[in-house]
Structures are given as C-alpha cells and as structure tokens.
Structure 1
Amino acid sequence: MSAPLGRRVAAEAIGTALLVVMVVGSGIQATELTRDIGVQLLANSLATVFGLGVLIALLGPISGAHFNPAVTLAAWFTSRRAPGGLALRDVAAYVPAQITGAIGGVVLADAMFAKPLVKFSTHDRSAGHLWLSEVVATAGLILLIFGLTRVGRAALAPAAVASYIGAAYWFTSSTSFANPAVTIGRAFTNTFAGIAPASVAPFIAAQLLGTVLGLGVVAAVYGPSPAPAGRALVAQGEPELASS
C-alpha cells in the first residue's frame, strides 16, 4: 500500500460513511415519496449502485475501497504471506474505521431528513432464508472482487462491484447487506433500511461464512494465487478495490 496508514484509514471511514448515507438516505427519501415497496427498493438500489461505483473509483487508489470488514479480512488472508500485502495492523485499523464510519453515516442520513439521530431499528430480519441470502450475497461479492484480480480485470471493479450489489438487492431476500460494518450501522436507524439489533449477529455470522465460501470458490476456480493477492485492484498496481 503506497498511501500512509492514516490516510488509508480516513478513506475507509469516509467511504463507508458515505456508502451508508446513500443506502439509508435513499431509503428514507423513497418511503417519503411513494408507498409502493417495489419502487422504494428500486430507488434505494439505484442510489446505492451509482454512489458505490463513484466511491470505489474515487477512494480505491488510496485504501483499496474495501468499506467492508469481510473484504478487508479476505484481503489480509490472501496476502498475509506476500511482501507488501495487507498486514494485521492494517486490519486492526480498517475494521474499526469502517464500523465507526457506518454508524456516522446513519446519523448523518437521519439528520438530513430530520429523523431521530439514533433510534434502534425495530425491523426484525431473523429468518433462515435471509441468512442464506447473506451467505450467497457475500460469497458472490468475494468471488467477484478477487476473481477480477486473478484474471487481470481489476480496473473494472468500480462498475462490476456496484453492478453486482445492485443485482443482489433484487436476487436475494435479504436485499444483500453483505457487509458487517453496514449491518451494524443500519441497526441505528428505525427507517426503511434498518435492521433490528437482535438480527445483527446472525447476519454478520452469515456474511463471514460467505466470505470463507467465496475464498474457497476463488481457490477452486482459479487455483493457488500466483502473485501477492492483497494488492488486487484498480489499475497500475494500486491496492485492491471492493466493497458493498
């Protein structure tokens, strides 16, 4: 990683915060404009797709644009023995920054729509089919990010990752959180995008399982990594991109 750790951590915190602002803010806006749940989800997913693509393109060259502890952990695991790979100290700095950014993003989104700044969600999401959806969504995200790197197409990450997240909104029953930090953050808002605190832990467990399965699929499809995997990304040797 070429940028100093402090700048990379700032990029992760700010990027995750802005991602959550887009998810939560567009959800609030959609529910205030229409009562049609399908239209609400469409508006929410479109805002997330466009915003996420911009954030990855903008911040990817600095931190890799993980915005997601699952991606950070996968990047560390795949590059832990490679020179210049993501180190444990990076993980220890990235993950708290992502979680803090996610909570800050929720507070900012609620403030912009004159909602209570912090009000825990009552939206229960405790069901087996939702957990399965999170496993599938997260595994697919990991496969996409690290698969792009393995085939030399990391420059496509901003469009590809954003497109995948947009699609996963619709093909999963959970609407594809696929991100432990965002899951935690969304517990702090009792709006369209919220998740009840009691539902958070099972979602995160499912996401971590999906991360492991995603890495397993990468290994099965592409074989052992021939190069340092922790630098997967944008273009011209910048750190690995990703997110959700």
Structure 2
Amino acid sequence: MSVTPLWRRVVAEGIGTGLLVTVVVGSGIAAAKLSPDDVGLQLLENAFAIALGLAVLILMIGPVSGAHFNPVVSAVDWWLGRRTGTGLTARDLGAYIPAQIIGAVLGAVLANLMYGEAAVSWSTTERTAPHLWLGEVVATAGLIVLIFALAASGRAAVAPAAVGAYIGSAYWFTSSTSFANPAVTIGRAFSDTFAGIAPGSLPGFVIAQIAGAAAGVGVLAVLYPQAGRAADDVVTSHTETGASK
C-alpha cells in the first residue's frame, strides 16, 4: 500500500471543502427562499442538507485525501501522527490548509452564482459573543474526538454517516450552529446570506475552533492515547495500491 500523490490529495481537499461550503451556503439560500418567515425551519433545512451533503462528500473524496475538509482536523492529524510516522507530514499540512481555504472561498462564490447573487457579497451577520465562542469550542472538540475515536477503534468506515450526523445535530445543540471549521468559516464570510458570518467575527470563531481542537486532543489523550497510530485513517482510509509519488 502507498499514499496517494500529494498533488492529487491537495486537489481533492480543495474540491471537497469547496463543495462542502457550496452545500452550506447554497442550502442556506434555498432555505431562506423556501421558508422566509420561519427561521427555525430554515435552520432545519440547512442542517439536514449539510448532514447529508457532508456524508456524501466524505464517501466521494475520502479514498483520495482522507476527506479532512478542515484545517484543524488536518493539524490534529499531523500533531498526533508525527511521533509514529502516520498521518500528514508537515509538508502535507502546509499544502492541505491553503487548498481547504481556497476551496472554501470558491465554494461560497459558486453557491452565490447558482442563486443569482453577486459572486462575492461580504456577510453582515455578526456572530461575536462569548457564548457563541464557547459553542464553537464545544462543537470543534466534539468533532475532533469523534473523528479520531472512530479511527483509533477501527470504525473509520462509519465516519461518513457519523460525522454528517454529528454536524447536523451540532447545528442545533450548540449556540454557534457548529461551524467547527476555520476554512468553512472563512468561506461563509463571502456570502451575505443565511449561512454567512461577518468578516469581523472571523477571528473569534477561528480562535475558538483552535481552542476546541486543543481540548479535543486533551480528551483523546485520556480516552484514546494511541489515536496517533491510526492517523492514516482520518477521516477515512486514503491509501491505494501501486500509487506513484
């Protein structure tokens, strides 16, 4: 078994993250149009589409890159796997994160254009409050623990359904509606629609997500101390026979 070439994994991460943001923003626009007078129903429609879309994208992209779609997932994968020679290398990490961010921005642009909006419309939705940051810490920590617990216990095959279900439910049980992803957070700033976040709110959310990732690593150290050995299976296994570098 050998690892898929880095360039192919980077392209996959960009496409996957971009399509994820397209699902997030596009379903948010659709929800606002379909249920203009019911914010709760809009959130339900948005969350339902994201849960299903994320599961499908993991199934589609996972065999190529692992389907991280998330800088903090990639960073934790590198951090936990570095001592055992598994997971992302520092070089991989340096390529994954820019691809995820660029993909996220392009995904928001695509969603805007599909619905006849301006390609870029900076969001005016302010999301700046301590309780929202706490929500992001909880959402991100839970996501990290889930993903690496599945890999460490040999259940990475169920990650598409489990991660989709977690994000869908976290939309409702966290005060922040579970962004839990710096790249997706940045992408959502490029659309002044239902799922948007004002650029000025980005630093607080991203810092909270990093803190949540660190908290997740702490929980993993207690519950799954050997999680780093399974870093090659995060989010799903992404090795192939006969791949060429």
**2:159 counterpart (141, 157, 180):** 157
- 2:126 corresponds to 1:124: yes
- 2:214 corresponds to 1:178: no
Cα gap change, 1:107 to 1:234, in 2 (>3 Å): closer
Structure 1 CA distance, aligned partners of 2:31 and 2:188?
16
Cα gap change, 1:236 to 1:11, in 2 (>3 Å): closer
Does the 8 Å contact 2:136/2:212 carry over to 1? yes
Tell me what 1:146 maps to: 148
Cα gap change, 1:42 to 1:191, in 2 (>3 Å): same
Structure 1 CA distance, aligned partners of 2:87 and 2:141?
22
Q: How far has the Cα of 1:78 moved from its partner? A: 0.5
Q: How far has the Cα of 1:228 moved from its partner? A: 2.2
Read off the aligned partner of 1:64 and give its amino acid letter.
G
Structure 1: gaps (5+ residues): 240-244
Tell me what 1:17 maps to: 18
Does the 8 Å contact 2:80/2:228 carry over to 1? no
- What fraction of aligned residue pairs are identical, expressed as a percent? 58
Q: How far has the Cα of 1:20 moved from its partner? A: 0.4
Alignment size in residue pairs: 238
| Paired residue secondary structure (1:228) | helix
| Paired residue secondary structure (2:23) | helix
Does the 8 Å contact 1:57/1:158 carry over to 2? yes
Tell me what 2:243 maps to: none
Tell me what 1:53 maps to: 55
Tell me what 1:242 maps to: none
Please give the residue correspondences for 1:33-48 in structure 2 after superposition, counting only pairs within 5 Å: 33-34=34-35, 35-48=37-50
Does the 8 Å contact 1:156/1:234 carry over to 2? no
Cα gap change, 1:111 to 1:18, in 2 (>3 Å): same
Cα gap change, 1:172 to 1:236, in 2 (>3 Å): closer
Read off the aligned partner of 1:26 and give its amino acid letter.
S
Does the 8 Å contact 2:151/2:236 carry over to 1? no
- Deviations 1:200-237 (Å, cap 9, x if unpaired)? 01100000000000011011112x31762321247777
Q: How far has the Cα of 1:86 moved from its partner? A: 1.1
Q: How far has the Cα of 1:127 moved from its partner? A: 0.3
Cα gap change, 1:152 to 1:117, in 2 (>3 Å): same
Cα gap change, 1:100 to 1:236, in 2 (>3 Å): closer
Structure 1 CA distance, aligned partners of 2:133 and 2:188?
16
Structure 2: gaps (5+ residues): 241-245
